[in-house]
Amino acid sequence: MPIQGKGGNKMKKMKKMLAAILTGGMVLALAACGSGGGESKEEKESDIKIGFVVSDMSDAFFAHLVQELQDYSDEIGVTFTVTEAPEISDKITGIENFVEAKCDTIICHVTDSDALKDAALGAEDAGVHFISYDSDIEGTSGFIGVDNMKYGYEIGKNAADWIKENFEESEEVKVGVCNYPDYPFLVTREEGILKALEELAPNAKVVVSAKAGYTPEGVDVGDAWVQSNPDLNVVVGINDAGVLGVYETFNAAGIDGDKLGMFGGDAVDDALTALKAGGTFRGTVSTEMLPNAHQFIDMAVELAENGKVAERELYFPMKTVTVDTVDEFMAE
């Protein structure tokens, strides 16, 4: 789940533009992959066509990622087409439509590898290379993303480091967890968070958890926790978006102070802004995916040109961002 980025106004403009791009959904997917997006061969440096099945363009991370991929595709002259597919059925339809449109390579945000395996292998059988993103599917051409256990561990470690700096080992630290059990890869990420807390901050006790992968969900969870668990010391989540919703409601309720810290992942604009504000949002983890987004397209092009890649699996590095390092991170 995602998202990194620098500049809130830029992100809002980007999301409006992407909403326009996505209007028409599958019709646009078929037209663009099938015809090269309406541009003549003279205008394109390559005939390579890449389709991207993305989960949710309302998520800031995905919005920024798509823009990075589009910009790089334009730069190197390949046709890049996006279809939004929140549900598994939407993803299957998106994959099938990109196959029918004769894309060379499909990149798909895989939220459930078992549920999407048949569609992915069907694309491969039809001669279309398939790159899994976030969750790997055995038998496909490539995988790109992060190790979600390690990613979760880094989020949990960020919280644990703060706990050790601000609490005695004898003090019980009450923790609320924002999770997302719908997606297996995010369950793995949550397991990484809990593993880090258990190993690095044994005085941390999870007293409440709830599904909150998007900010509106986080707001609802925060409203509930303001009533049931206003004495939480730590809120930690599988991404920034859900935690930021809790952060918003706790701030509105006047729940803050030195004994409350919130931690997420993706290093989205709003998380970086919250870090700079110096309040209770105290840390995030960047996957460094956006600065290296070109690697999605590079892998897709390599598959289209050569039929295989030198390295089938590509994992992005991670970087912890805190109040102390946010300015340096944003200046990079």
Residues 174 and 231 in one domain: yes
Reported pTM: 0.85
Q: Give domain status of residue 3, yes or no.
A: no
Q: Give domain status of residue 98, yes or no.
A: yes
Give the per-residue pLDDT at 32.
54
Count up the domains in the chain and report the number: 2
Residues 111 and 191 in one domain: no
Residues 130 and 156 in one domain: no
Mean pLDDT, rounded, for 61-71? 94
Token couple for 22: 């996505």
Residues 217 and 268 in one domain: yes
Q: Give domain status of residue 323, yes or no.
A: no
Residue 175 belongs to domain with CATH number? 3.40.50.2300
**124-156 per-position pLDDT tens digit:** 999 999 999 999 999 999 999 999 999 999 999
Residues 224 and 138 in one domain: no
Q: Give domain status of residue 329, yes or no.
A: no
The whole domain housing 248 covers 148-286
List strands edge to edge, sheet with 79-84. Answer: 79-84, 49-54, 105-109, 129-133, 142-145, 313-315
Residues 42 and 29 in one domain: yes
Give the per-residue pLDDT at 36.
42
Give the per-residue pLDDT at 148.
97
Exposure string of 87-101, with b = 16+ CB inside 10 Å and e = fewer, is eeebbbbbbebbbeb
**157-216 per-position pLDDT tens digit:** 999 999 999 999 999 999 999 999 999 999 999 999 999 999 999 999 999 999 999 999
**88-132 per-position pLDDT tens digit:** 999 999 999 999 999 999 999 999 999 999 999 999 999 999 999
Reported confidence tier of residue 258, pLDDT bands at 50, 70, 90: very high
Q: Give domain status of residue 235, yes or no.
A: yes
Residues 128 and 156 in one domain: no
Give the per-residue pLDDT at 46.
81
Q: Provide the mean pLDDT of the chain.
A: 89
Residues 18 and 124 in one domain: yes
Please, what is the Cα angle at 117 between 194 and 61, to 5 degrees? 50
Give the per-residue pLDDT at 13.
39
Residues 124 and 189 in one domain: no
Residues 22 and 130 in one domain: yes
Residues 164 and 272 in one domain: yes
Reported confidence tier of residue 39, pLDDT bands at 50, 70, 90: very low
Q: Give domain status of residue 14, yes or no.
A: yes
Reported confidence tier of residue 20, pLDDT bands at 50, 70, 90: very low
Report whether 83 contacts 54 (CB < 8 A). Answer: yes
Q: Give domain status of residue 325, yes or no.
A: no
Report whether 316 contacts 298 (CB < 8 A). Answer: no
Residues 158 and 112 in one domain: no
- Cβ neighbours of 20 (radius 10 Å): 9
**Side chain identity, residue 197:** L
Q: Give domain status of residue 40, yes or no.
A: yes
- Cβ neighbours of 169 (radius 10 Å): 9
